[in-house]
Amino acid sequence: MLNALTTGFTKDALVELSRQKGEPEWMLQKRLQAWEVYEKTPAPLGRRGDLGTLQALSRFKFQQLSPFVPAQDKALPEAIQQSLQESLVNERSGLIVQHNSSVVYTQLNEDLKAKGVILTDLESAVREYPELVQEYFMTKCVPVDASKYTALHAAFWTGGVFLYVPEGVEIEAPILAQVWIDSSAAAIFSHSLVIASSQSSVRFAQEFTSSVESERPSLVSDVAEVFAKREAIVEFSNLQDLDQHTWNITNKNAIHENDSSVTFVMADLGAKLNLNTIGAGLHGNASAAELVGVFFTDHDQRYAINSLSDHVGLSTNAETMIKGVLTDESRVEFDGMIRIRPKAQQTASFLAAHGLLLSKKARGEFIPGLEIGANDVSASHGATSGQIDEEQLFYLMVRGIARPEAERIIVQGFFEPVLQRIPLENLRIRLRRSIISRMSGEYETEADTWVDAQERWEIEGVDEGAIYLDDSTRPKSDEIELDEY
């Protein structure tokens, strides 16, 4: 049985971790190289005048954490079993569960095994499929030196997911990965490596949940790398619902080959602080990417969200849509970028980020950007943030709807266009319930809230489009014209 490491990040702790796991020499050397990068790379501090999320993270006391906290046994705790019952998918092709730093359960459909699909923990893949891991693990998708925090992740990663889909294999039911944290002052470094071969397809859903009751904070640092080969289709959905004693650093990216498609869905609800970096490397011609993000912050949560659509090949297409609500004293910073390389002609790319503030103490900063090096492109971006318009509230309240419910209906209308773009129905339901729960202060069923609001629009004669805050879904013949944020 593996032993927990002593508190603090050191070179000796790294070597001991690798020794306990019985890793080959090449992986130990990769960890050591990553440690050197971590030590010499300064912590990012953000830019002058921002909301200070990166500075707050730089002051986090990393040396008070334990780099490796193994699960006590292979049995799934009752809390994890309950979480699986409420998971993002009803029917699944496979399941892998990580408890703290250890993968404790793996299951894959027998038919998929016969077709050559591989689903295992990354630690086992290092020993059993070294050629694949050496080629793809933190090389060009999320490089070790991408940041100080990716270097720390590469040095101390544990557990993790390895998924390989052979050429031509189509996996219809999603594969679910759950990461559960219940240890205080722990650093959990989970890594997901997904390789979809040519003309394959897969749906991958991942959940991060925790129940850390101690005041001593924990850290979750996860990296997801997706390689979509020629004509491959990958849907990657991620739900982060960590508790308020856990900090989160996540970096997700995809490398696209010709005619491939990758959809990332990021739903962020929890964590004390969340540094979220997501990207699409559109290297192949005619490749496509979709980045969909939803967040809801309250209390004093701090979020920094960075997105990048990197167009390299010809005739590539990307669309990024981020929407979120801020309450209490939370802060959200969004920096999105569309980068079109000089030879990336015939590119089409769109970026939009919208924040709705329900508190005058909440602060949001949404900054989109363009870097265009080609001349035959279509690229556009936009970002908005602001409070709910009092005229919108008045329009609903004069029809007999109380102010709290009116606010809730407007928030529902704000979120619904982006929720409809989420492919997993269970994830849409979970998000709707979480949004309603946060706004009402108590849990209510979706049928009593979201669906009821749709019915109220019909009964009261309030057109559904009348409460949308963006013009893309509002009918041109609305009775009332609402100002866009």
pLDDT in tens, 292-333: 999 999 999 999 999 999 999 999 999 999 999 999 999 999
Residue 48 lies in a domain: yes
Q: At residue 171, what are phi and psi to the nearest 5 degrees?
A: -105, 110
My answer on whether 249 and 351 are in the same domain is: yes
Count of CB atoms within 10 A of residue 430's CB? 20
Residue 345 and residue 483 in one domain: no
Residue 2 lies in a domain: no
What is the distance between the terminal CA atoms of the chain, rounded to a whole angstrom?
56
Q: Are residues 308 and 407 in the same domain?
A: no
d(CA 259, CA 283): 10
Residues 349, 408 within the same domain: no
**419 contacts: CB under 8 Å, gap ≥ 6:** 294, 428, 431, 432
Average pLDDT, the chain: 88
Q: Is residue 480 part of a domain?
A: yes
- Boundary of a domain, candidates 359, 388, 417: 388
Read off the tokens for 45.
């501090």
Of 357, 388, 419, the residue that ends a domain is: 388
In a domain, 85, yes or no: yes
| Pair 299, 394 in one domain | no
Structural domain span for residue 485 = 389-485
pLDDT in tens, 433-465: 888 888 765 544 544 455 444 444 443 443 444
d(CA 155, CA 12): 12
Residue at 187 is within a domain: yes
Residue 469 to residues 234, 289, 413, 436, 455, Cα–Cα distance (Å): 30, 25, 8, 18, 20
201 shares a domain with 304: yes
Q: Is residue 166 part of a domain?
A: yes
Per-residue pLDDT of 261-293, as tens digits, reads: 999 999 999 999 999 999 999 999 999 999 999
321 and 396 share one domain: no
- Give the C-alpha separation, 212 to 203, whole Å: 30
Out of 333, 355, 388, a domain closes at 388
Task: Answer whether residue 5 is part of any domain.
Answer: no
353 with 394, same domain: the answer is no
- Helices (H), ranges, 115-158: 122-128, 130-136, 148-156
Residue labelled with tokens 């010809």: 314
- pLDDT average, residue stretch 391-417: 88
Q: Give the whole-angstrom CA distance, residue 302 versus residue 135.
A: 35
Domain annotation covers residue 1:
no
In 3D space, the residue among 87, 368, 124, 105 whose CA is nearest the CA of residue 241 turns out to be 87
Residues 115 and 155 in one domain: yes
Structure tokens at 422: 């989420």
CA dihedral 251, 257, 261, 266 (to 10 degrees): 0
Is 293 within 8 Å of 300 (Cβ atoms)?
Answer: no
| pTM more than 0.85 | yes
The token duo for 230 is 């020629």
For residue 188, give both structure tokens.
């959990």
Same domain? For 421 and 289 the reply is no
The domain tally of the chain equals 2
Residue 96 and residue 182 in one domain: yes
User: Does residue 397 share a domain with residue 374?
Assistant: no
CA separation for the pair 268, 276 (Å, rounded): 9
Residue 106 has pLDDT above 90, yes or no: yes
